[in-house]
Amino acid sequence: MHNLKNDLLLRALRGETVERPPVWMMRQAGRYLPDYMKLRAKYDFFTRVETPELACEITLQPIDQIGVDAAIIFSDILVIPQAMGLEVLLEENKGPLLPKVVATQADVDALITTDVADRLHYVMEALTLTKQELNGRVPLIGFAGAPWTILCYMVEGKGSKSWDKAKQFCFTQPELAHSLLQKITDVTIQYLNAQVKAGADLVQVFDSWSGMLSPADFRTYALPYLQQIVDGVKGAPVILFPKGSWYALPDLTSTGCAGIGIDWCIEPALARQMTNNSITLQGNFDPARLLAPIPEIQRSVKEMIMAFGPQRYIANLGHGITPNVPVDHAKAFVDAVKGFSL
């Protein structure tokens, strides 16, 4: 293991006292960076994901250019459906497309659940290479999509505003839905453990669409599987990010995860109250606010840190950075956190 020169993120997750909050940004490796656009013009999306040298280069760009306190491996949550035998197409600016969706028991039975680490060897190679290149500068984050969110894509076949088909699938065939969620969960645990072995210092689970579920349905279709992942990942802290599911904060706190990511639709004080001040929270700057003038970003960041309190806190966005954010605005966000003092 490389000794970390900057272990702020890991210390914040352990609840140790830090001199300032750590900062990173979801989707920091990507489409707002001119150097990323150059690679995007040359290589299609899955080539970028499946070529360890490219994934590594992209992962390192925000470390060098923006100065964040952590690297997150460049990949995609939809490598899991791919590993399970479903075709995933990605058109630039169009979003993902899964031509063959999961609809029946036979479809669920046909999914592959073994040898995930081998099938996704390129992610492990990218992690190991990136870990070497980072040489201890900052921690490296691995990630996966949460089972509910992966089910959404597998059943719906593409992005959706309301995920009606995914919900209909769960509500009309609950047993089948649970068997699919269980398969995704088993594969995801294997995958995350392989990432930790390959060099990830921590992992984050993105439940991008859990906010589409009612509190009762969240407890049925999302929470039990997030719990299994927290229990099943060994040797690294787990951050859960169920976007929009602020109502579930008490339940999420008792999963034993190391941190919870939240979006901008809940006030920091309420999030602290609902988590009993007992867990590290991550978030929750609205990415659209990065389009505001820089002095305003600086002011808002300070307000955000004060509202959460600088301990047991990771400064981040409440969702991924959008492509239209100027690089100097992203940097201003990071610098504002790094310059924080009481």
Query: Pseudo-torsion of CA 259, 261, 265, 268, nearest 10°?
Result: 40
Q: Please check whether residue 319 lies inside any domain of the structure.
A: no
> Mean of the pLDDT values across residues 241-257?
98
For the chain, what is the radius of gyration of the CA atoms? 19
Average pLDDT for the chain: 97
Q: Please check whether residue 177 lies inside any domain of the structure.
A: yes
Q: Please check whether residue 154 lies inside any domain of the structure.
A: yes
Q: What is the CATH number of the domain that holds 247?
A: 3.20.20.210
- Active site includes 263? no
Q: Which range of residues forms the domain containing residue 130?
A: 31-269
Catalytic choice (32, 153, 191, 221): 153
Q: How many domains does the chain have?
A: 1
Q: Please check whether residue 121 lies inside any domain of the structure.
A: yes
Residue 1 has pLDDT above 60, yes or no: no
The confidence score (pLDDT) of residue 336 equals 98
The confidence score (pLDDT) of residue 260 equals 98
Residue 46 among known ligand-binding residues: yes
Query: 41: buried, middle or exposed (CB in 10 Å: 19+, 13-18, 0-12)?
Result: exposed
Residue 319 among known ligand-binding residues: yes
Of the pLDDT bands very low, low, confident and very high (cuts 50, 70, 90), residue 292 is: very high
CB 144 within 8 A of CB 232: no
- Active site includes 335? no
Q: Please check whether residue 296 lies inside any domain of the structure.
A: no
Of the pLDDT bands very low, low, confident and very high (cuts 50, 70, 90), residue 3 is: confident
pLDDT tens digit string along 21-39?
Answer: 999 999 999 999 999 999 9
Of the pLDDT bands very low, low, confident and very high (cuts 50, 70, 90), residue 342 is: confident
> Mean of the pLDDT values across residues 135-141?
98
Distance CA 207, CA 245 (A): 9
Q: Please check whether residue 277 lies inside any domain of the structure.
A: no
Catalytic choice (11, 14, 35, 40): 40
Share of the chain above pLDDT 70, in %: 99
Of the pLDDT bands very low, low, confident and very high (cuts 50, 70, 90), residue 232 is: very high
CB 300 within 8 A of CB 292: yes
Q: Please check whether residue 9 lies inside any domain of the structure.
A: no
- Active site includes 31? yes
The confidence score (pLDDT) of residue 2 equals 61
Q: Please check whether residue 199 lies inside any domain of the structure.
A: yes
CB 2 within 8 A of CB 131: yes
Residue 208 among known ligand-binding residues: yes
